[in-house]
Structure 1
Amino acid sequence: MHARITHLDGMRGLAILLVIGYHAYARWPELLPYVAQTQHIPLFSFGWLGVELFFMISGFVIFMTLDKSNSYISFLKKRWLRLFPAMFIASMLLFALGGFFPEWSAMTPYVRNLLPGLMFTNPETLTQLTGIEFKSMAGSFWSLYVEAVFYLIIGAVYFTLGRKYCLPALLVPMLLLSASSVLKSLGHPMLIDIISKFGFIHYSWFMVGCLVYERMHGRDKLFHYAIVAVAMLINFGYFVKNAGIMTVIPLLMVLVFFVASFYSKQMERWLSIRFLTAVGFASYAFYLIHENQMIATLIKLNVYIKSEVVMLLMPIMVACVLYYIAFLITKYAEPALRNMLKGKRIPAAPQSGAGA
């Protein structure tokens, strides 16, 4: 299994590079004039699919973690120790830097906005439940809220009903979401709003990862494929409705790419190259800090740099600096905080990857 994990690290690296490309060259044309030149290049405009890659990787590794956990509580503790340290460090860093970047409205340095990230809870849900307005410290945190609920559900099913019910159970919230328009007409808008904020629509990607893992271990059943196919149809339907029929092509490409990487030695070798695995190593911390800091810095630079050609190159420079910061967080700060939370003094070997 070791070579597989190496190539998954490379895939994490690729996923974060796709997301960074999307944010730097497609997401913010109203804030960064040069984006008008690049926003329609498919590699950038569909870079958000890097997040779906992260979800498939999470699905793949989740059974590994479940199999190594003695109980639901021990599983949740492992996941929390995996995700919380980097989230805490990234949140504090973004909070501390927020005041230096007034140009970027998404940098919201209010103490209360630390809560959604540190609790791994969608700020809109917190706002609905408390009546106090919450925002995330960074836009990219949204996928961690989706991961957290996914862990709660799959862990509960695994430790109560057993492994064979995990995939069917993940389909339930997706079906619930599909039925939500009916429920809305029956007069439960608040409930539907809360349901829709959990990100259940993305569960099909976790399910693909789970299914590939089960197949690798000879546990796949025909009905698993049927369940995952239904989930993918719901997911594709959602994207087609919101982004048009052409979105199906990149969605399918990402899906095929992930699955094929387990069957192609060539792909495995390519994904295991040092550059991608090095980026993959720090990808979680990189993911957490990249958008706020990169866009804010680029807006600042754009005031002084009048050349569009130079501006087109600046995201690469900024991303390199942010990668170095993410690397330091992953290699030193994160393991130190993790050991502190575990009550250990000895330095642990750093773990790799984004949310995996």
Structure 2
Amino acid sequence: MPPDSSLAAPATPAPAVPVQPAASPARPPAARTARPRLYILDGLRLCAALAVLSWHYAGIERDPAVWGGKAGTYMPTLHRFANYGWVGVEMFFLISGFVICMSSWGRPLGSFVSSRITRLFPAYWFSVLFLAAVAFLVRVPWNEGLIKGSYSNVITNLTMVQEGTGGMDVDGVYWTLWIELRFYILFGLMAIGGLTYRKVLSFCCGWLLLALLATSTGWQVLDGIFFPRYAPYFIAGVALYMIHRFGGNLLLWGLVGFCWMQAQNQLRFIVADYYWQKVSYDVAFALVTLAFVVMIGVAVGWFDRIQWKWLVSAGALTYPLYLVHEQFGWQVIRHFHSRVNAYVLVGVLTVSMLVFAWLIHRLIERPASAALRRGLARAFDEVREIGRRERAERV
């Protein structure tokens, strides 16, 4: 141990020694300079929606009420591709993780909540009521449960939490909305107080760990909250946005890689659910891997040169198209499949659904979302004002 300099000063001045600056604590990487708008995400969303549509219109063979249970007989070439259109859902979840993190960064929690409500509910409320009316007017086998539940089940669907309360979806595709809602809740809780690099990274790692525990323990509560079958897609999407915003490092790339490995593991159970469809795990694995590669490309800038502004309009069709295409399309196929060429029928139906989705977006979604946004803004302002008055009264 060196002597205490306060007690033993040197007799002659010591040569000056340059003082080294203290090492500053490690800081998270700074955000990169602004990049062009990611128009590619709008295009990818529409591609994912069209993939799911192809699955419902040309891929499913189980239900004899649609194509007489012989979709592959009517259109063998399209059927071979459409048989894997359900992977579009996994692509949706990857994109959702990326986009929600991107759109929430630097915004208060109230803004996040308002954006989710105004984005999800107007088109959804219309779709529920429209499809319920179709179901009650045209009785078909796949809607027997809905008819039995009568108007009570339709009202429950308007909450969007019917999957969590034992209700039956008005349309089969709505099961994904319950998963999305749980992701929004988890992300919103984490976003209280604002998003930071370390906070989001910790959230991703913690969620992944809890999802793994849900699988290994079989605890229904953990499974219900952290949904391990699809959690890797959302987590990977969030991590890829972090790479896009701040640059990659071993932690983030390792997280994305681990999510991909866990996603392929959970994919075995998803493929098993389609045992009646004779789905190949190898093909599904290749498609999911391709989805990861494409989103990696988005994160690192492979598609930055794509600046096609029309993709914004195309992306706007995605959500209403997804909401209304299945049940209504099945009704049309059921009535016309024996009288119209299958490829012509699916083509015309797909274009018609895109037009219908555009009308929903323009006439329902945009004006209703704007009105709802104004109402929520006033409500949040009132909450903040009452909070200020209460704090002032306590002083």
1:159-174 alignment to 2 at 5 Å?
Answer: 159=192, 162-174=199-211
| Alpha-carbon separation, structure 1, partners of 2:203 and 2:76 | 39
1:1-356 alignment to 2 at 5 Å?
Answer: 3-29=36-62, 30=64, 31-33=66-68, 34-37=70-73, 38=75, 41-71=79-109, 73-106=110-143, 108-109=146-147, 110-115=150-155, 117-123=157-163, 125-127=164-166, 134-159=167-192, 162-181=199-218, 183=219, 191=220, 195=223, 199-218=227-246, 220-243=248-271, 245-246=281-282, 247-263=284-300, 269=306, 272=308, 274=310, 278-302=313-337, 305=339, 310-343=341-374
Q: Would you say the 8 A contact 2:317–2:357 is kept in 1?
A: yes
| Alpha-carbon separation, structure 2, partners of 1:68 and 1:207 | 19
Q: What amino acid maps onto 2:95 in structure 1?
A: I
Q: Which has the larger radius of gyration?
A: 2
User: Is the alpha carbon distance of 1:293 and 1:217 closer, same or farther for their aligned partners in structure 2, counting shifts above 3 Å?
Assistant: same
User: Is the alpha carbon distance of 1:117 and 1:3 closer, same or farther for their aligned partners in structure 2, counting shifts above 3 Å?
Assistant: farther
User: Is the alpha carbon distance of 1:252 and 1:44 closer, same or farther for their aligned partners in structure 2, counting shifts above 3 Å?
Assistant: same
| Alpha-carbon separation, structure 2, partners of 1:316 and 1:242 | 28
1:336 aligns to what SS in structure 2?
helix
| Alpha-carbon separation, structure 1, partners of 2:226 and 2:205 | 18
Partner deviation per Cα, 1:267-311 (whole Å, 9 max, x = no partner) = 963x9484x654322110110001111112111213x51x6xx02
Residue 28 of structure 1: CA displacement? Answer: 3.7
Q: Would you say the 8 A contact 1:286–1:323 is kept in 2?
A: yes
User: Is the alpha carbon distance of 1:221 and 1:266 closer, same or farther for their aligned partners in structure 2, counting shifts above 3 Å?
Assistant: closer
| Alpha-carbon separation, structure 1, partners of 2:302 and 2:212 | 37
1:119 aligns to what SS in structure 2?
coil
**Structure 2-normalised TM-score?**
0.72
CA RMSD of aligned residues (A): 2.9
Residue 39 of structure 1: CA displacement? Answer: 6.7
Residue 152 of structure 1: CA displacement? Answer: 0.5
Q: What amino acid maps onto 1:238 in structure 2?
A: Q
Q: What amino acid maps onto 2:315 in structure 1?
A: G
Residue 261 of structure 1: CA displacement? Answer: 4.1
1:217 aligns to what SS in structure 2?
helix
Q: Would you say the 8 A contact 2:122–2:369 is kept in 1?
A: yes
Percent identity for Structure 1 against Structure 2: 20
Residue 69 of structure 1: CA displacement? Answer: 2.5
| Alpha-carbon separation, structure 2, partners of 1:27 and 1:172 | 35
Residue 8 of structure 1: CA displacement? Answer: 1.0
2:108 aligns to what SS in structure 1?
coil
User: Is the alpha carbon distance of 1:267 and 1:248 closer, same or farther for their aligned partners in structure 2, counting shifts above 3 Å?
Assistant: farther
Q: What amino acid maps onto 1:54 in structure 2?
A: F
Residue 312 of structure 1: CA displacement? Answer: 2.9
Q: Would you say the 8 A contact 1:7–1:277 is kept in 2?
A: no
Residue 337 of structure 1: CA displacement? Answer: 1.4
The gaps in structure 2 that reach 5 residues or longer are 1-33, 272-279, 376-395
Q: Would you say the 8 A contact 1:76–1:152 is kept in 2?
A: no
**Structure 1-normalised TM-score?**
0.80
Residue 135 of structure 1: CA displacement? Answer: 0.4
Q: Tell me what 1:351 maps to.
A: none
2:331 aligns to what SS in structure 1?
helix
| Alpha-carbon separation, structure 1, partners of 2:363 and 2:317 | 11
Residue 250 of structure 1: CA displacement? Answer: 1.6
Q: What amino acid maps onto 1:222 in structure 2?
A: L
User: Is the alpha carbon distance of 1:220 and 1:119 closer, same or farther for their aligned partners in structure 2, counting shifts above 3 Å?
Assistant: farther
Name the count of aligned residue pairs: 321
| Alpha-carbon separation, structure 2, partners of 1:334 and 1:266 | 29
| Alpha-carbon separation, structure 1, partners of 2:71 and 2:36 | 38
Residue 91 of structure 1: CA displacement? Answer: 0.9
| Alpha-carbon separation, structure 1, partners of 2:126 and 2:226 | 24
